[in-house]
Structure 1
């Protein structure tokens, strides 16, 4: 599987979970814009056999290079950025929840999910668009996780798959700022994540970002319970040149911290 095939699989899964993304992408294309994906992000748990280091080989296999680690102390997350083998392929952001920093009750729930995962399944690249690799979590357990970590509840219910794709604003010709893009998105009827401000970051940190709030859809929980929960969202990023003249390749932790909240149920 080459990188383009890899991302085609990811996009198909992502749009099925995030109908807004297909509509927003089409709206920009209808305006005559060329939509290029800036980056894709994944979430997982720092537990065997699904930790970050277990998923990373699938990125390396299609030519990606580890770039920089990130730490989100308050959200108990570790993450890594990866650079693509070709300029117009998306960067990748892979994060994991440090389960050992959660309460014993929450950790026990997540450990029970990870224990159900077949390591052989994780060895196949399709694990990155597999969704839940475990039996449905109970609604009660979901609520326990959500009270402590929205990220934990999201992974438990949605599984391992892209949580967002990102329109690269640097490639747009008519809508050239994050705020302008957000106004177009709102005009289509979608809500914007305003945690930390509508636009996260500044030209001074070489990256500005904004995002929608996640789509929501009914998910089946243990016992056949069905509840509507947040799925995935669409992001928009504008990069600025470094001193060398190249566009900044990484991520800004302070901004990403607020972008994570695009899937918070309370929003």
Structure 2
């Protein structure tokens, strides 16, 4: 599988879950901008056959190299950034939930989910857009996870797929700042994640980021209960050059911590 094929599959799955992304993409293209992906992010559990260590080989086989580790103590996450084999390809951000930091009840729910995974399905890159590899949890279990970790609850029903794509603002001509991009997105009637401010980061930390609030879709939980929940979102990033003249390649943990909240149920509801 080539990188272009890999990202085409990811994009098709992502936009099916995130209709706003195609709308935003098309709106900027219509205004003459070229869409270059800064990075794509994934979420997973550190249990069963879908741990970061199990998924990483697919990225390495595509030519990616592990760059920097990140830790999000409050959200109970660890992550790595990965650099692409060529500059025109997106970086990748892969995070996993530290399940042993959750309650025994939450761990039992997660173990019940990952215990259903057919390990053979994890052996190919297609696992990165496979979605849920287990039966839908009950809405009660979803809420139990939500009380401890929005990330865990999201993953329990959404499964493995691109959590977000990210437009590189560096490649824009007219919308050459994150603020201009966010204003354009809002003009389309879409909400912005304001947790930690509309723009996370600054030129001083060499990275500015902003994102939409996640789209919402109806899901059928175990027992037939149907609920509307957040799916995925679109992010926008502008990178700055370090003192050595090189463009910053990493991620800013404090900013990423707030970007995670783009899928927060409470934030999405509050914003309507």
1:183-229 superposed Cα distances (whole Å, 9 cap, x missing partner): 00000000000000000000010000000000000011101211100
Runs of 4+ in 1 over 6 A off after TM superposition: none
Q: What TM-score, normalized by structure 1, do the two folds share?
A: 0.99
**What is residue 97 of structure 2 aligned with on the other side?**
97
Counterpart-to-counterpart distance in 1, 2:123 and 2:35 = 31
Q: What TM-score, normalized by structure 2, do the two folds share?
A: 0.97
> Which consecutive unaligned segments of at least 5 residues does structure 1 have?
none
**What is residue 148 of structure 1 aligned with on the other side?**
148
Counterpart-to-counterpart distance in 2, 1:244 and 1:63 = 26
Counterpart-to-counterpart distance in 2, 1:55 and 1:247 = 27
Counterpart-to-counterpart distance in 1, 2:79 and 2:89 = 20
Cα displacement (A) at 1:239 = 0.1
**What is residue 83 of structure 2 aligned with on the other side?**
83
Q: Paired residues, what number?
A: 267
Counterpart-to-counterpart distance in 1, 2:175 and 2:124 = 39
Counterpart-to-counterpart distance in 1, 2:160 and 2:172 = 30
**What is residue 176 of structure 2 aligned with on the other side?**
176
Counterpart-to-counterpart distance in 2, 1:219 and 1:168 = 31
> Which consecutive unaligned segments of at least 5 residues does structure 2 have?
268-272
Counting only pairs closer than 5 Å after superposition, residues 1-267 of structure 1 correspond to structure 2 as 1-267=1-267
- SS of the residue corresponding to residue 170 of structure 1 reads helix
Counterpart-to-counterpart distance in 2, 1:248 and 1:4 = 24
- SS of the residue corresponding to residue 50 of structure 2 reads coil
Counterpart-to-counterpart distance in 1, 2:98 and 2:39 = 23
- SS of the residue corresponding to residue 266 of structure 1 reads helix
Counterpart-to-counterpart distance in 2, 1:4 and 1:168 = 17
Counterpart-to-counterpart distance in 1, 2:11 and 2:246 = 27
